Amino acid sequence: MNEEYDMIVLGTSLTECILSRIMSVNGKKVLHMDRNSYYGGESASITPLEDLYKRFNIPGSPPSSMGRGRDWNVDLIPKFLMANGQLVKILLYTEVTRYLDFKVTEGSFVYKGGKIYKVPSTEAEKRWFRKFLVRVANFDEKDSRTFEGVDPRKTTMRDVYKKFDLGQDIIDFTGHALSLYRTDNYLDQPCYETINRIKLYSDSLTTCDDIKDIYKRMTGSEFDLEEMIQKKNDIYGED
């Protein structure tokens, strides 16, 4: 092992792997280390199932009804990527997409009141929501006329919803399923950020034809983006 490196990277979460990869591609000598026996850190995909039991200190072994442990690959965090988002552009730049395949999801749903819904549901809701999405698609922050006179830097998202007469189900869907907010705090903030989030969602939809998001998937039995980036790093740098 060499004694001198331009950079030493500790950990193999997505951030560290991308950073290591970018440095390697640009000719830097990188030592990349991880104390764990798997790639990914807190965003890892754990396989086989027995390792997941060990990680969370679950006593015993998985029951036989769950099948073979190596057939399981459990994500520690959700791993949805917007098709037209910045992360996908970074992955394309680092060329790790040569080792990856992508699978589109079939739709977006909202869990509410103990049930799963795909909204909008009624014809009236669909008409109002369609009008809203058309305005979002044509939105130009330099021209308020493109969004019916709304000032994106001053008008709150709550007022935007009222302006387009959107119901609570549509609001919940737009805020949490499209814009990916965890709370409703965004409602009282200027609508600029939310509109751009919805536009990103819409652009991703267009990128994937009529599908919403993409979900990363390895072409074989593995399912770990961080590991693929690290394997690509090994070609340029040192591990």
Q: How far apart are CA 78 and CA 174, in angstroms?
A: 19
DSSP 3-state assignment of 99? Answer: helix
Structure tokens at 115: 């049930």
Task: Specify the pLDDT at position 72.
Answer: 93
Give the residue among 200, 238, 234, 203 at the shortest CA–CA distance from 96.
Answer: 234
Strand 30-33 to 7-10 pairing: parallel
Confidence band for 219, pLDDT divided at 50, 70 and 90: very low
pLDDT band at 223; cut points 50, 70, 90 = very low
Annotation: CATH topology of 7-78+220-236: FAD/NAD(P)-binding domain (3.50.50)
Residue 146, SS3 per DSSP: helix
**Residue written as tokens 């008008």?**
155
In this prediction, residue 216 carries a pLDDT of 45
CATH 1.10.405.10 in the chain: give the residue spans: 110-207
Average pLDDT, the chain: 79
CA–CA distances in Å: residue 71 to residues 57, 79, 88, 211, 219: 20, 19, 27, 27, 14
d(CA 239, CA 234): 6
Q: Is the per-residue pLDDT at 221 higher than 50?
A: no
57-107 residue pLDDT tens: 999 999 999 999 999 989 888 777 777 778 777 777 777 667 666 777 766
Segment 25-47 shows an average pLDDT of: 86
Assigned fold of 110-207: Guanine Nucleotide Dissociation Inhibitor; domain 1 (1.10.405)
62 or 145, which is more confident?
62
